[in-house]
């Protein structure tokens, strides 16, 4: 009889035997990849991420403290060729192709330090994730290593000076505003129409970048034109920016990590517009103003602006009334990586007071959640959502132009107190003895000029608030039924709810500058609701035949956008302190609304061939249909062709690790505006009138771009890229005036009436100058030179205005460079006057002379009220000539990183050489005699000028002229960071830091210093954020920020 105990032992042995066979069988059906990741000195690199992206989530591992890793791959993928990548922040990633075979294999990686290239894998504009070495097109990339030293306030600012061919300009300093972006050259003639397509985690964004926190960004990829962006079709001629947020994939396996980053600091304007400290009025013996019987100041007979203000009365209104704004940025992130799951969530809160007084500034709060989940070995899903809520307490006049806060502030008389402008000496403000605070009625005896009102009045009593609510969400799924076939599907949505409230209470002090009166009150409500969604389905097939790798991707996409706009205003309120339209006078209430529905669908195919990682070829075809196109041209086709030869894979060249030549040609488009194809009418005072006639033949503008490039890595320290791009945009949109008789009473029509050409040369150099265990130094240099021209214009040449006074500063005509400034040019030599037909036969040397400023004036008028610069007139009798060109000779970026022990010093210089700015601010300040350049006190008596020489002659009724064209060259210290990261020994020694994984302390500067000869606030000035319209017109200036930062990870 067998005992129960013996049966138990036999059963246990059987289980062990079965388990052994199962394990053996499993091991035989699996591939186990092990290895070690080391640095250049052979030291293990902990926390490196080793992944096989093509096999989906969960197929990868992080290295341990010794730098070792293990990856297990299921039997479904055996025999497959795949790319394995090892990467770590601060190192250049290393990629190789392996064959997944049953059993064990070893793959070791030695990484080189390279803080400028976090990730050498590109996902934008290609069939599948591709190593940059195997790219056939130009893709600019900014990774986390380039972002973390100085966290970007917005994604746009993260690109400044870091990507060749991408210009970023901070044209508007108002808190919450985003910089302007242009990729290479212009693609159309419209003001402000050069922005690239923006994609955020797969979502096609239509609502800007103001709501995105730079701390959340993992990488930004940039496609620079049609040669690389043909996969995006009719919207991509101006380029594509693809933003990927952090997803937790680099977190240690099975560990929850926390990161907090907090900054606090101040903001101030670095360079102030020079204000006039002298005046042209007569003084009494005691230094006080001599007044006429009516109380007005008496202008001196000589008209020279050279007398000082009475002691203690002159004040710099900018210094007295601009504030040092406080900036606070708080950021917290939680990340998890466990098996097939990646998870990241973050919260941020940013406040920026700005530099204007009496306002709260800008506040933003963001919550983000990203999740990746593998479903077995063949499928995975991903989801991402960002919710942002921001508030801006500003005034409409804080933006730009005449009537703005900066207009009034720069034009304010310098000898009054704007808080109590009518106060008497020794008055008591607490008892009301100093008059009305911020009164709009300024003393008539104040220093000459036209009264522009009190800029502080509007800031103190007008409530202007903007509220933005933004939701960006995406969901995607991938299924790999076969080792060579992958299906993808995704849905993305971008929703914006915008509300604007402008309230001036009834009974407050009115804005009348003659007598104080009570305001009738006003209320304006404005809402915009935007909903954009994109749905996409694709299939990817990858094959390998010997050394030939083939990837084919088929994609279908549907996009829909709905815009609802509503605005209503009451110009008179019946009840005080009630910001509601029901309090408005019904007679004064006006309302307007609009609804836009846009639909687009497209299909595309991308075919890539890779022969032995040496010969590379990519083919793209795409067909777009859109409701924005004219009804007779609803569909458009696009293509792309590119190839590359990696020479060093065939030929061993001493000193070169990589040498690649490539060429690409592609097409992409620009979509018309919503109303371009339709008949439009205007309604005023109940009367309907015709405006633009419809155009059923309207097509998307078509850009064709040819690009050649060279990529070289040499001496184990340098990575060089040179690119030349030639692009031609045919069918650019233009509003063409029409004959009323021929057009049936309509005045104009949108047409494909222009062709714009552009040429760009780009250079990028990444270096690893010094690499030692405790000391590294690297720098990145980017450079660009672009030229652009109007090659064809199917209408008569015309002038273009871009200021609040509609100055027609720019001129469009066929064959002319885009961005040329036209106006009066003041003659510099007497010989120039001979071109004027009216001067024929005259003895010009007897009639004219050149004054000490270098301008031709009538002889005998120097120093008199009749002295005027003489305008040049050409042989056709015209004085409207070229006076400037906004296009710079070149632009550049120069980033440097030094690491020593735990210290890191990082700095980014960004600048342009050449290119003109029209200083409209200075011109208008001449009328009111406020600009510091009018000061005559330091000049020899024979060189002094009468005030009319400036405020009549050069001011010239605000007509554009060469006197106010200035060189816009500059070099900016765009970013600076000095940081110290505490070592593990110190963290362990300090008790309250014990749980911390890392602690970094930093001093950060943004927009810190500008070197320029420009006399305005800042040379990064333009109208409507357009690089072709560099006009400085009383805009909110950019300011520098200095902050302290502490970052703790645990």
Q: What is the pLDDT of residues 319-378, one digit of tens each?
A: 999 999 999 999 999 999 888 889 999 999 999 999 999 999 999 999 999 999 999 888
Least confident range from 444-448, 473-477, 546-550, 569-573: namely 444-448
Closest C-alpha to 554, from 563, 543, 541: 541
DSSP 987: H
Give the residue from 113, 140, 173 where a domain finishes: 113
Local confidence band at 7 (pLDDT 50, 70, 90 cut-offs) = very low
- Beta-carbon contacts of 905 under 8 Å, excluding residues fewer than 6 positions away, are 896, 897, 898, 899, 977, 978
853 phi, psi to nearest 5 deg:
-80, -5
Structure token pair of residue 489: 């599907």
Does residue 247 sit in helix, strand or coil?
A: coil
Closest C-alpha to 671, from 233, 228, 203, 209: 233
Closest C-alpha to 456, from 323, 349, 294, 365: 323
pLDDT of res. 254: 81
Are the C-beta atoms of 304 and 364 separated by less than 8 Å? no
Q: Does any domain span residue 438?
A: no
| Whether residue 500 is found in the same domain as residue 584 | yes
Q: Does any domain span residue 126?
A: no
Q: Does any domain span residue 242?
A: no
How would DSSP label each residue in 1001-1038? EEEEEEEEEEEE---SS-S---STT-TT--EE-S----
Does residue 844 sit in helix, strand or coil?
A: helix
Place of tokens 């000490």: 852
pLDDT of res. 15: 37
Number of structural domains found in the chain: 3
Answer left, alpha or beta for residue 226, where phi above 0 means left and psi between -120 and 50 means alpha: alpha
Structure token pair of residue 524: 């304006």
pLDDT of res. 410: 94
| Whether residue 807 is found in the same domain as residue 848 | no
DSSP 405: H
pLDDT of res. 370: 97
Q: Does any domain span residue 185?
A: no
d(CA 164, CA 187): 18
| Count of CB atoms situated within 10 Å of the CB of 731 | 22
Q: Does any domain span residue 570?
A: yes
Number of H helices, E strands in the chain: 10, 56
Beta strands in 833-889, from DSSP E residues, in sequence order: 848-850, 856-858, 881-885
pLDDT (average), residues 164-189: 90
d(CA 830, CA 817): 29
On the question of pLDDT at 101 being above 70, the answer is: yes
pLDDT (average), residues 483-505: 95
Q: Which residue has the higher pLDDT, 987 or 196?
A: 196
Q: Which residues pair with 668 in a beta bridge?
A: 703
- Helix (H) / strand (E) element for 707: namely strand 701-714
d(CA 1036, CA 398): 7
d(CA 50, CA 55): 13
| Whether residue 856 is found in the same domain as residue 985 | no
pLDDT of res. 29: 64
Give the residue from 69, 93, 113 where a domain finishes: 113
pLDDT of res. 115: 43
Distance of CA 239 to the CA centre of its chain: 13
Q: Percentage helix, strand, coil, to 5, in the chain?
A: 15, 50, 40
Q: Does any domain span residue 427?
A: no
pLDDT of res. 503: 95
Q: Which pTM was predicted? A: 0.89
Are the C-beta atoms of 890 and 783 separated by less than 8 Å? yes
Give the residue from 113, 136, 164 where a domain finishes: 113
pLDDT above 90 covers what percent of the chain? 71
Q: Does any domain span residue 26?
A: no
Place of tokens 């080189």: 112
d(CA 404, CA 397): 4
Structural domain for 1000, as ranges? 255-269+323-413+448-822+888-1049
Local confidence band at 145 (pLDDT 50, 70, 90 cut-offs) = confident
- From residue 640, give the alpha-carbon distance in Å to each of 137, 601, 608, 619, 703: 10, 19, 11, 6, 12
Q: Which residue has the higher pLDDT, 995 or 512?
A: 512
Q: Which residues pair with 22 in a beta bridge?
A: none
Closest C-alpha to 1047, from 214, 263, 55: 263
d(CA 303, CA 948): 8
On the question of pLDDT at 924 being above 50, the answer is: yes
Structure token pair of residue 799: 């002038």
How would DSSP label each residue in 463-488? EEEEEEEEEEEEEEEEEEEETTEEEE
Q: Which residues pair with 786 in a beta bridge?
A: 760
Local confidence band at 2 (pLDDT 50, 70, 90 cut-offs) = very low
pLDDT of res. 803: 66
The CATH number that applies at residue 41 is: 2.60.40.1120
What does the pLDDT look like over 202-225, one tens digit per residue?
999 989 898 999 999 999 999 999
Are the C-beta atoms of 893 and 160 separated by less than 8 Å? yes
| Whether residue 530 is found in the same domain as residue 578 | yes
pLDDT (average), residues 239-245: 95
| Whether residue 846 is found in the same domain as residue 776 | no
| Whether residue 505 is found in the same domain as residue 561 | yes
Are the C-beta atoms of 987 and 996 separated by less than 8 Å? yes
Distance of CA 129 to the CA centre of its chain: 26
d(CA 705, CA 759): 10
pLDDT of res. 14: 44
Local confidence band at 399 (pLDDT 50, 70, 90 cut-offs) = low
Q: Does any domain span residue 699?
A: yes
pLDDT of res. 862: 97
What does the pLDDT look like over 39-71, one tens digit per residue?
877 888 877 889 888 777 668 888 887 789 999
Does residue 753 sit in helix, strand or coil?
A: strand
Are the C-beta atoms of 33 and 70 separated by less than 8 Å? yes
d(CA 146, CA 217): 11
pLDDT (average), residues 968-995: 82
- Helix (H) / strand (E) element for 406: namely helix 405-411
* Arithmetic mean of pLDDT over the chain: 90
On the question of pLDDT at 927 being above 90, the answer is: yes
pLDDT (average), residues 453-480: 94
Maximum C-alpha span of the chain: 141
Are the C-beta atoms of 596 and 663 separated by less than 8 Å? no
| Whether residue 871 is found in the same domain as residue 949 | no
On the question of pLDDT at 316 being above 50, the answer is: yes
| Whether residue 913 is found in the same domain as residue 943 | yes
The CATH number that applies at residue 919 is: 2.40.170.20
pLDDT (average), residues 905-932: 96
Local confidence band at 827 (pLDDT 50, 70, 90 cut-offs) = very high
pLDDT of res. 19: 38
Closest C-alpha to 403, from 276, 513, 277: 513
On the question of pLDDT at 237 being above 50, the answer is: yes
Answer left, alpha or beta for residue 333, where phi above 0 means left and psi between -120 and 50 means alpha: beta
- From residue 331, give the alpha-carbon distance in Å to each of 228, 277, 500, 709, 1048: 35, 45, 27, 40, 11
d(CA 125, CA 230): 8
Closest C-alpha to 160, from 726, 712, 780: 780
Local confidence band at 445 (pLDDT 50, 70, 90 cut-offs) = low
pLDDT of res. 4: 40
Beta strands in 248-324, from DSSP E residues, in sequence order: 255-268, 278-279, 307-308
Handedness of CA 313, 316, 318, 324 (dihedral sign): negative
Place of tokens 């949108």: 750
| Whether residue 608 is found in the same domain as residue 557 | yes
pLDDT (average), residues 914-935: 96
| Whether residue 744 is found in the same domain as residue 875 | no
On the question of pLDDT at 20 being above 50, the answer is: no
Distance of CA 27 to the CA centre of its chain: 53
Beta strands in 107-156, from DSSP E residues, in sequence order: 109-110, 112-113, 121-122, 130-131, 139-143
Closest C-alpha to 928, from 461, 276, 86, 295: 276
d(CA 824, CA 840): 21
Structure token pair of residue 535: 């749905």
Place of tokens 């690790």: 657
| Whether residue 810 is found in the same domain as residue 926 | yes
Handedness of CA 89, 90, 96, 101 (dihedral sign): negative
What does the pLDDT look like over 404-432, one tens digit per residue?
899 999 999 999 999 999 888 889 888 88
Are the C-beta atoms of 869 and 827 separated by less than 8 Å? yes
The vertex-499 CA angle with 493 and 502, nearest 5°, equals: 160
| Whether residue 597 is found in the same domain as residue 738 | yes
Are the C-beta atoms of 447 and 469 separated by less than 8 Å? no
Local confidence band at 991 (pLDDT 50, 70, 90 cut-offs) = low
d(CA 50, CA 45): 11
Are the C-beta atoms of 993 and 881 separated by less than 8 Å? no
d(CA 1027, CA 181): 9
Structure token pair of residue 278: 């002298």
pLDDT above 70 covers what percent of the chain? 92
On the question of pLDDT at 515 being above 80, the answer is: yes
Local confidence band at 898 (pLDDT 50, 70, 90 cut-offs) = very high
């Amino acid at each position: 009889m067998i005992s129960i105990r013996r049966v138990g032992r036999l059963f246990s042995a059987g289980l062990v035997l079965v388990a052994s066979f199962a394990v053996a069988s499993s091991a035989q059906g699996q591939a186990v990849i092990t290895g070690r990741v080391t640095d250049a000195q052979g030291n293990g690199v902990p926390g490196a991420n080793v992944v096989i992206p093509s096999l989906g989530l969960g197929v990868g591992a992080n290295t341990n403290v010794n730098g070792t890793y293990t990856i297990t791959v299921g039997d479904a993928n055996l025999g497959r060729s795949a790319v394995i990548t090892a990467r770590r922040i601060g190192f250049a990633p290393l990629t190789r192709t392996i064959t997944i075979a049953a059993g064990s294999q070893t793959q070791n990686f030695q990484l080189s330090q390279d803080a400028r290239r976090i990730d050498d894998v590109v996902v934008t504009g290609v069939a599948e994730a591709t190593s940059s070495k195997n790219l056939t097109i130009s893709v600019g990339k900014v990774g986390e290593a380039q972002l973390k030293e100085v966290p970007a306030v917005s994604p746009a600012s993260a690109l400044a000076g870091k990507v060749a061919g991408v210009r970023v300009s901070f044209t508007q300093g108002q808190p919450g505003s985003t910089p302007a972006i242009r990729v290479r050259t212009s693609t159309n003639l419209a003001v402000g129409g050069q922005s690239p397509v923006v994609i955020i985690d797969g979502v096609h964004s239509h609502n800007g970048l103001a709501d995105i926190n730079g701390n959340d960004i993992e990488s930004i990829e940039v496609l620079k034109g049609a040669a690389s962006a043909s996969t995006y079709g009719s919207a991509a001629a101006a380029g594509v920016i693809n933003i990927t947020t952090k997803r937790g994939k680099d977190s240690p396996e099975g560990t929850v990590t926390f990161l907090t980053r907090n900054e606090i600091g101040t903001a101030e304007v670095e360079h102030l517009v020079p204000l006039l400290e002298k005046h042209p009025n007569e003084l009494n013996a005691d230094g006080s103003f001599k007044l006429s019987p009516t109380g007005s100041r008496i202008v001196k007979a000589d008209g020279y602006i050279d007398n000082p203000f009475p002691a203690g009365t002159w004040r710099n209104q900018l210094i007295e009334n601009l504030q040092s704004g406080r900036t606070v940025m708080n950021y917290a992130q939680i990340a998890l990586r466990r098996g097939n799951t990646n998870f990241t969530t973050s919260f941020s809160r940013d406040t920026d007071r700005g530099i204007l007084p009496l306002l709260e500034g800008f506040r933003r709060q963001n919550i983000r959640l990203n999740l990746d989940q593998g479903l077995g070995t063949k499928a995975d899903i991903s989801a991402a959502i960002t919710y942002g809520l921001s508030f801006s307490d500003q005034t409409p006049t804080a933006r730009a132009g005449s009537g703005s806060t900066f207009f009034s502030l720069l034009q304010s008389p310098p000898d009054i107190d704007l808080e109590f402008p009518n106060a008497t000496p020794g008055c008591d403000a607490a008892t009301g003895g100093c008059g009305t605070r911020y009164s709009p009625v300024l003393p008539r005896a104040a220093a000459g000029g036209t009264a522009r009102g009190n800029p502080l009045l509007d800031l103190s009593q007008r409530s202007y608030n903007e509220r933005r609510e933004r939701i960006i969400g995406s969901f995607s799924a991938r299924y790999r039924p076969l080792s060579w076939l992958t299906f993808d599907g995704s849905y993305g949505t971008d929703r914006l709810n915008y509300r604007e409230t402008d309230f001036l209470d009834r009974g407050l002090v009115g804005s009348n500058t003659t007598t104080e009166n009570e305001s009738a009150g006003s209320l304006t409500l404005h809402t915009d609701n935007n909903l954009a969604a994109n749905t996409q389905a694709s299939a990817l097939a990858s094959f390998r035949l010997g050394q030939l790798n083939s990837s084919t991707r088929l994609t279908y996409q549907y996009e829909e956008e709905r815009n609802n706009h509503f605005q209503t205003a009451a110009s008179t309120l019946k009840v005080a302190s009630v910001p509601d339209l029901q309090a408005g006078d019904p007679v004064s209430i006006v309302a307007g609304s609009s609804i836009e529905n846009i639909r687009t669908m497209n299909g595309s195919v991308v075919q890539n061939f890779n022969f032995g990682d040496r010969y590379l070829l990519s083919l793209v075809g795409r067909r777009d249909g859109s409701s924005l196109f004219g009804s007779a041209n609803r569909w458009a086709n696009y293509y792309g062709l590119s190839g590359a030869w990696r020479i060093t894979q065939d030929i061993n060249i001493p000193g070169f690790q990589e040498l690649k030549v490539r060429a690409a040609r592609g097409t992409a488009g620009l979509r018309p505006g919503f109303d371009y194809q339709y008949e439009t009418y205007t309604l005023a005072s109940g009367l309907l009138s015709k405006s633009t006639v419809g155009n059923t033949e309207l097509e998307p503008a078509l850009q064709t771009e040819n690009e050649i490039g060279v990529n070289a890595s040499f001496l184990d320290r340098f990575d060089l890229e040179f690119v030349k791009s030639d692009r031609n945009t045919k069918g650019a949109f233009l509003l063409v005036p029409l004959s009323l008789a021929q057009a049936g009473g309509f005045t104009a029509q949108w047409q494909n009436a222009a062709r714009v050409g552009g040429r760009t040369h780009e250079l990028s150099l990444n270096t690893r100058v010094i690499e030692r265990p405790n000391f590294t130094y690297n720098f990145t240099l980017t450079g660009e030179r672009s030229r652009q021209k109007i090659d064809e214009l199917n209408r008569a040449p015309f002038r273009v205005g871009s200021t609040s006074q509609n100055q027609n500063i720019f001129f469009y005509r066929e064959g002319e460079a885009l961005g040329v400034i036209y106006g009066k040019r003041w003659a510099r030599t007497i010989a120039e006057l001979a071109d004027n037909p009216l001067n024929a036969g005259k003895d010009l040397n007897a009639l004219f002379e050149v004054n000490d400023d270098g301008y031709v004036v009538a002889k005998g008028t120097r120093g008199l009220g009749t002295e005027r610069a003489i305008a040049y007139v050409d042989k056709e009798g015209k004085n409207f000539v070229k006076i400037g060109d906004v296009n710079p000779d070149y632009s550049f970026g120069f980033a440097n990183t030094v690491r020593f022990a735990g210290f890191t010093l990082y700095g980014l210089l960004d600048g342009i050489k050449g290119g003109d700015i029209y200083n409209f601010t200075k011109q208008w300040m001449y009328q009111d005699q406020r600009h510091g350049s009018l000061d005559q006190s330091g000049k020899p008596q024979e060189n002094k000028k009468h005030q009319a020489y400036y405020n009549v002659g050069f001011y010239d009724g605000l007509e554009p002229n060469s006197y106010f064209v200035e060189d816009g060259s500059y070099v900016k210290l765009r970013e600076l960071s000095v940081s110290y990261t505490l070592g593990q020994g110190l963290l362990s020694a300090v008790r309250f830091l014990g749980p911390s994984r890392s602690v970094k302390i930093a001093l950060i500067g943004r927009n810190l210093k500008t070197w320029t000869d420009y006399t305005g606030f800042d040379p990064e000035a333009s109208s409507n954020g357009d690089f072709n319209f560099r006009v400085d017109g009383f805009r909110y200036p950019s300011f520098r920020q200095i902050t302290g930062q502490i970052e703790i990870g645990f």
